[in-house]
Amino acid sequence: MVGGTGTRLLRTAARAQAAGAAVLVATGCVSAAAQLALPAVLGKAVDALVGGIGFGRWLAACLGLVIVYVAFEAYSDYRAGVVQARSALFFRRTAANRLVGAGPRARTDGGPGGFAACILESAAAAAMGTNAAVWLALSLLPALVSLFMLWWTDVWIGLVFSCGLPVVAWCLRSFAVDSSLLVTSYLEEQSTVSSRLAEALGGARTIAASQTLEREVARVVEPLPRLRRSGDALWRLQAKVTSQSNVLFPLLHIAVVATAGLQLGRGRISSGQLLAASEYTAMGTGLGMTVLFVNQLARARSGAEQLETYAVLPPMEYGTAELPRPAPSTGLGVELRGVTVRRAGRTVLLGVDIAVPAGGVVALVGRSGSGKSTVAALMGRLFDPDRGAVLLGGVPARTLSRAALRHSVVFAFERPELIGDDIADTIAAGAPNATLDNVARAAGLARAASFIEKMPDGYRTGVESVVLSGGEMQRLGLARAFVRPARLVLLDDATSSLDMATEYEIDRALASGTSGATRVIVAHRASSAARADTVVWLDAGKVRATGTHGELWGLPGYRAIFQERPEPRTPLDAAGAAR
C-alpha cells in the first residue's frame, strides 16, 4: 500500500483485527491451494482417461478439491464480513473517543455534521482496508503459482506468459495512483454535502423564519457538480483499466494456449498438461481481479485520511492528585491565575485573575463574547488555558485525577443535552450509582417532577419520544446538579429560560440542596447577579471590576449589560439588590 497520512491508521486497525485477518488468511490459503491443485489434478484425470488407467481415482480427487474450494471460499466470505464490520466499529470508536476525549475545545472542520458524515462514510470506506490487503495478497498467490506451474510444464509456455506480466503490472500501478487521488476528492466532496445538510436540518427553524430556504438548498447542493465530476472520473478510470484488461488478458491467454498447442504437436507435453496450462493461464490472467482490491485499498486509504483529523486529536490528560478533604461547611475554592485563552486566532481571555472562596456564590457578568462561559468551562476543567493556571481547592487542576475532578464538580448548561435511554438516565448522567429515588428527589428540587410525572412512562419515558420546552430542558439539566453531592456547582446561564419566580425557587433549592458547595453562576439577569455574594464583571476577555451587585450597579457600563436585555422589576429583584 502506498504510504500516506491514512496508512498509519490503517495499520493500527489491521493490528486490532489481527486474529480475524489471520483466520481469513488461513481459510483463503486453503481455498487458493484447492483452486491451484485442481488444474493439475484435472490434467492427470484427462491423461488417465486417454490412457484408460486410474481415471476414477483422479476424478474423485477433482470432486474433493471442488468441495474444499467451495466450502472454504464461502467461509472466507463470512469471515471477511466479520472483519469489515469490526474494522468499521474500530474506526468509528477511535474517531469518536478522540473527539470526545479531546474536550469541548477540540475544533474540527464541518462541525457535528461533518463528524457524523465522516464516521459513517469514511469509516465504512476505511473498513475495507484489512480485507482488501488480504485479498490482494491472496489474489497474487494464484498468479505466482500459476507462473511457476507454466514454467514447470514447459519453458516456452512460461516465457510467453511472462512477457505479458510487465504490461499488467504497469496498468495496475497506474490505476492505484490515479484512483487514490480521485477517491480522496470524492470522499471530501461527499463529506461536505453531508455536513452542510446536517447543519441545514439542525437550523431548520432559523431557515424557515428567515425565508432563506432556496439559498440554503443552493449551499447544500453546491458541491454536487464537483462530486459528480470526481465520480465520473473514477468510473472512466475503472472503465479504462477494465477495457485494457479485456484486451490484454485474452490475447495473452490465446498466445499461451497456442504455444501449448505447438508443444503438444511436438510431443513435448500431454493433452492433460495442455488443459492444465490453459487453466493456469486463466488463473494467472486473474491478476485483473487485483484491480478491484487495489481500488478498495485506495478507498480505504482515502477514508482513513478523512478520519485522521479526529484520530490524531490529543486526549485531555489527567494527573493522580486528589483534592483535600473539605472542612465542615466549606466547599471547593476555585482560582484562575493569569489565565489566557486563544481560539481561532482570537484572544478570548487575557491575563484573567479570579479567586472564588470556598462555599461562596459568585456571578460572572458581561456582554456576549466577554468570556463568561469560557471561565466557567476552565473552572470545571473542560479544557485547559493556553497560559496561566487553574486551581481547585488549592490544587492545580491539571494534576487532578479524572475521578477527583468529576466527583467534585457538576455543571448545568443553558442548552443541556438529553443523553441516555430515558428521563431517569439523562438526570443521572455522571452519577452511575444514583437510584430512582435519588433521581426523583433531584427532579423535585429542580421543579421538574411535575411535568415528568405527567409523561406516559414517568421517569422511564424515552428521551427521543418527548418534546420539551426550553425551560423544561433546563430543569432537567439542573436536576443533574442535585442528583449527586458536589463541592463546586457551575451554572452556565442554566436558568435563562425559566420565569423569575421558578428561578428564585430553584436558587433557594440550590442553596439548601448543595449546602456548603461553591457556586459559580454565568448570569444574564440582574436578579441572578443580585443573589450572588460577589459579581465578577468581564469585558472583552478581562476582569473589569469585582464587587457586589449593589456596588457595581452605580457604574453605567454595568447597568447597560442588563438594560440590553430588559426584564420587569419584581419584589424579588428589589430584595436581591438590597443584599
Find the CATH number of the domain harbouring 142.
1.20.1560.10
Across the chain, mean pLDDT equals 78
Q: Beta 542-547 vs 518-522: how paired, if at all? A: unpaired
pLDDT of 224 above 70: yes
Please report whether residue 328 resides in a domain. Answer: no
pLDDT band at residue 569 using 50, 70 and 90 as cut-offs: very low
User: Which of 255, 311, 250, 241 is closest to 98 using CA atoms?
Assistant: 311
Q: Are 419 and 429 within 8 A, CB to CB?
A: yes
255 and 390 inside one domain = no
- Which three three-digit cell numbers place residue 186? 470524492
Q: Which domain holds residue 49?
A: 7-311
User: Which of 361, 395, 391, 393 is closest to 379 using CA atoms?
Assistant: 391
300 and 346 inside one domain = no
We report the CATH number of the domain holding residue 456 as 3.40.50.300
Instruction: Report the pLDDT value the prediction gives residue 579, as an integer from 0 to 100.
Output: 36
d(CA 489, CA 475): 15
Q: Are 337 and 418 within 8 A, CB to CB?
A: no
pLDDT (tens digit per residue) in 225-248: 888 888 888 778 777 777 777 777
d(CA 468, CA 488): 28
User: Which of 533, 470, 535 is closest to 507 using CA atoms?
Assistant: 533
Tell me, what amino acid is at 271?
S
399 and 260 inside one domain = no
The beta strands (E) that lie in 313-386 are given as: 334-343, 346-356, 361-365
Instruction: Report the pLDDT value the prediction gives residue 105, as an integer from 0 to 100.
Output: 58
Between helix 128-153 and helix 290-311 the angle, nearest 10°, is: 150
Going by C-beta distance under 8 Å and a sequence separation of 6 or more, which residues neighbour residue 560?
none
pLDDT (tens digit per residue) in 252-298: 778 888 888 888 888 888 888 888 888 888 777 665 566 667 777 77
Instruction: Report the pLDDT value the prediction gives residue 571, as an integer from 0 to 100.
Output: 35
190 and 267 inside one domain = yes
179 and 96 inside one domain = yes
Please report whether residue 165 resides in a domain. Answer: yes
427 and 494 inside one domain = yes
Please report whether residue 319 resides in a domain. Answer: no
pLDDT of 44 above 60: yes
140 and 243 inside one domain = yes
Please report whether residue 477 resides in a domain. Answer: yes
Instruction: Report the pLDDT value the prediction gives residue 439, as an integer from 0 to 100.
Output: 83
Please report whether residue 325 resides in a domain. Answer: no
Quote the number of domains for the chain: 2
Tell me, what amino acid is at 66?
V
pLDDT of 322 above 70: yes
Q: How far is CA 453 from CA 449, 450, 460, in A?
A: 6, 6, 10
Domain end, chosen from 276, 311, 346, is at: 311
- Residue count (the chain): 579
pLDDT band at residue 3 using 50, 70 and 90 as cut-offs: very low
Instruction: Report the pLDDT value the prediction gives residue 2, as an integer from 0 to 100.
Output: 40
Mean pLDDT of 56-80: 88
pLDDT band at residue 67 using 50, 70 and 90 as cut-offs: very high
Q: Beta 542-547 vs 346-356: how paired, if at all? A: unpaired
pLDDT of 492 above 50: yes
d(CA 151, CA 36): 15
pLDDT of 115 above 70: no
> Hey, is 348 helix, strand or coil?
strand
360 and 297 inside one domain = no
Q: How far is CA 170 from CA 164, 269, 274, in A?
A: 11, 32, 29
Give φ, ψ of 370 to 5 degrees: -80, -15
Please report whether residue 323 resides in a domain. Answer: no
Q: What is the pTM of this model?
A: 0.62
pLDDT of 329 above 50: no
Domain end, chosen from 311, 342, 362, is at: 311
User: Which of 409, 388, 405, 398 is closest to 319 using CA atoms?
Assistant: 398
pLDDT band at residue 578 using 50, 70 and 90 as cut-offs: very low
Please report whether residue 2 resides in a domain. Answer: no
pLDDT (tens digit per residue) in 466-486: 777 777 787 888 888 778 777
Domain end, chosen from 260, 278, 311, is at: 311
pLDDT of 328 above 70: no
pLDDT of 104 above 70: no
Q: Are 188 and 299 within 8 A, CB to CB?
A: no
Please report whether residue 320 resides in a domain. Answer: no
pLDDT of 503 above 70: yes
273 and 344 inside one domain = no
Instruction: Report the pLDDT value the prediction gives residue 172, as an integer from 0 to 100.
Output: 65
147 and 248 inside one domain = yes
302 and 339 inside one domain = no
270 and 355 inside one domain = no
